[in-house]
Structure 1
Amino acid sequence: MSVLGQLGVVLGGLALAVVLLRLNFWRALLFLFPGSVRIEPEAPADQMDLPDALAPLAGQLQALGFTPLGSHEEKPLLQRATRSYDWAHLGERVFATLHLGTDDLPRLYLLTPLVSGDSGGFVVTASYRRPALDLPGYRSGSLEDASPERLLRAHVRRLEGLSPGAASDFTWEGRVQAGRAWYQGLGRKEIRRQNLQGLLWTAIALAIVASSFLGRRAG
């Protein structure tokens, strides 16, 4: 192969590596450091800037007895913050969180923190695809495209035999604190499962870069 041909192959490989890193490097960091996600309160209930796409689900939540708490932001390393909108059902001791997915479609999940007697765990039920996990003090699963009413019934059933936190814990501050605890604790296994592919693609991209430079030095 001519020198120009070899150069073209090297540059093509490097271009592919750059694309892979842009898409996946932040996911690799999230796999390695799930507790690095920063969660901060954004606006109280009376100042939430709810997107129009989430308004129908918000109305259904309120009809079920949920009250708005406020919004919060979650920011992984090297990524822009995403905004979530939170509600609470004090009677059932359930947080509800709405946000827009990467496809700009509405997403809803329900979250209940458990008291320390249950290892300070969580029960999470989502209306979109999510890994199914059943560990001591931690249950996570999904009912794809389920209505808020159906999702709430399923979530409450999954709480049977467990001890939710006190009703006084289901505040805006409590929701932010629960999010931080999830990322720093029992949520790490789920995060790593979701971002394993990003770690693998990042390793492939770095291998391409290394082989390109080693090949040039060897030449």
Structure 2
Amino acid sequence: MNVFVELATVLAGLGLAVTLVSLNLWRAVLFLFPASVRVEAEAPADQMDLPEELFPLAHELKAVGFVPLGSHEEKPRLRRATRSYDFAHPAERVFATLHLSPDGAPRLYLLTPLSPEGFVITSGYRRPALELPGRYRSGSLEDASADRLLRAHLKRLEGLTPSGEFTWEGRVEAGRSWYRGLGQKEIRRQNLPGLLWTVAALAIVASAFLGGRPH
């Protein structure tokens, strides 16, 4: 009887480990290799297939001077690509990006590359605040309108020098640069739990096999 109980315990542990790995392995890989995310142009502005859920935010962006650029995809390893829809306000030197969260909620964030290297990012949804003086500012203003978000973003840009071309190509390159450089600290902080859960799952597997060895 004890043998069956032990076997059931081992199988339950392995099942839990498989579940943890399936949910978190891609996050562990992203923590270890943030630059491995592929950022690719998807469709130009006149072919951008904007989801209906994003129409209200897109109208708000256009009302404050943003113009559509196109869409791009970001694909981490072991994960399906996510699609984002990009706009720009060339006069203010700000990109705006719309996308849907995993649960389908509309999301908007503003981004400005800095010279010689850096970013200011202001999102309309909860995002951890992070600042490297003169190089990187990331924060949020939850549920703010596009107009309010833009005003907050421009205020956070004061004293800094925007850089780059505010075109579709410039937006795609800004995404690649973020993953290659200063965005890596934020990525690792966001995905540390995924790494820890993956390590825990592997420990469960190791314990199941090593614990079954005869003494």
TM-score, normalization by structure 1: 0.96
2:184 aligned with 1:188 = yes
Match of 2:127, SS state, is coil
One-letter amino acid of the counterpart of residue 45, structure 1: A
C-alpha distance in structure 1 between counterparts of 2:61 and 2:105, whole Å? 17
C-alpha distance in structure 1 between counterparts of 2:15 and 2:173, whole Å? 41
C-alpha distance in structure 2 between counterparts of 1:101 and 1:186, whole Å? 23
C-alpha distance in structure 1 between counterparts of 2:142 and 2:186, whole Å? 18
Deviation string 1:32-82 (CA, Å, 9 cap, x unpaired) is 000000000000000000000001100110011000000000000000000
One-letter amino acid of the counterpart of residue 100, structure 1: L
2:161 aligned with 1:178 = no
Shift of residue 218, structure 1, vs aligned partner = 3.4
Q: After superposition, where does 1:160-171 map in structure 2 within 5 Å?
A: 160-165=158-163, 169-171=165-167
2:137 aligned with 1:139 = yes
- Aligned equivalent of 1:12: 12
One-letter amino acid of the counterpart of residue 172, structure 1: W
C-alpha distance in structure 2 between counterparts of 1:101 and 1:155, whole Å? 21
One-letter amino acid of the counterpart of residue 200, structure 1: L
5+ long unaligned stretches in structure 2: none
TM-score, normalization by structure 2: 0.98
- Aligned equivalent of 2:213: 217
C-alpha distance in structure 1 between counterparts of 2:143 and 2:214, whole Å? 55
Shift of residue 27, structure 1, vs aligned partner = 0.3
2:126 aligned with 1:126 = no
- Structure 1 residue aligned with 2:157, among 153, 159, 184? 159
C-alpha distance in structure 2 between counterparts of 1:130 and 1:190, whole Å? 10
One-letter amino acid of the counterpart of residue 203, structure 2: A
Shift of residue 12, structure 1, vs aligned partner = 0.1
C-alpha distance in structure 1 between counterparts of 2:90 and 2:31, whole Å? 33
- Aligned equivalent of 1:85: 85
Deviation string 1:1-47 (CA, Å, 9 cap, x unpaired) is 61000000000000000000011010000000000000000000000
Match of 1:218, SS state, is coil
Match of 1:123, SS state, is strand
Percent identity between the aligned chains? 72
- Aligned equivalent of 1:25: 25
Match of 1:43, SS state, is strand
C-alpha distance in structure 2 between counterparts of 1:66 and 1:162, whole Å? 21
One-letter amino acid of the counterpart of residue 195, structure 1: N
Aligned length: 214
- Aligned equivalent of 2:194: 198
- Aligned equivalent of 1:149: 147
Shift of residue 172, structure 1, vs aligned partner = 0.3
C-alpha distance in structure 2 between counterparts of 1:165 and 1:34, whole Å? 23
Q: After superposition, where does 1:30-69 map in structure 2 within 5 Å?
A: 30-69=30-69
One-letter amino acid of the counterpart of residue 124, structure 2: S
The 1:150–1:218 alpha-carbon spacing in structure 2 relative to 1, beyond 3 Å, is farther
Shift of residue 217, structure 1, vs aligned partner = 1.8
C-alpha distance in structure 1 between counterparts of 2:150 and 2:98, whole Å? 14
C-alpha distance in structure 1 between counterparts of 2:142 and 2:35, whole Å? 27
Match of 2:212, SS state, is helix
Shift of residue 131, structure 1, vs aligned partner = 1.0
